[in-house]
Amino acid sequence: MKQLIRITREFSFEMAHVLVNYDGPCRNVHGHSYLLYVTLSGIPLNDRNNPKNGMVMDFTDLDNLVKTKITDKFDHSVVLSKDFDNNKREIIAEAFGNTIIVDYQPTCENLIVDFAGRIKKELPAGIRLHSMRLYETAKSYAEWFASDNE
């Protein structure tokens, strides 16, 4: 009997951001140690001759995908909205180096939507992104579920 299984992998990265027009201290450049949980669903491969037999997806392949699409880009970066002041953006880019400009306010909520989009379109046939959880602090996270966004 085929069983749908979910697998999850944890990733960590360091990232700074600025929230434009925010009414609290996060309007200033500040960073977080992010934890990202990526959960996929699928039916494990049933082929005794395949080295991936019994797997939904090899964790190493998932690791490489998330590394390529998310952590290699965002780790040790400063993420700014395109609405951030141009003069300040240039100063920050010079001072910090790896600066990413996005089309959204870089909140935890918007980041996870972006990350889900980057992963979903790269998954092999038969495997789907079930959910993602992004911790911005030890006590605060945003979640994305495929079932909520179909």
State the catalytic residues.
26, 76, 136
Residue 42 identity (one-letter amino acid): G
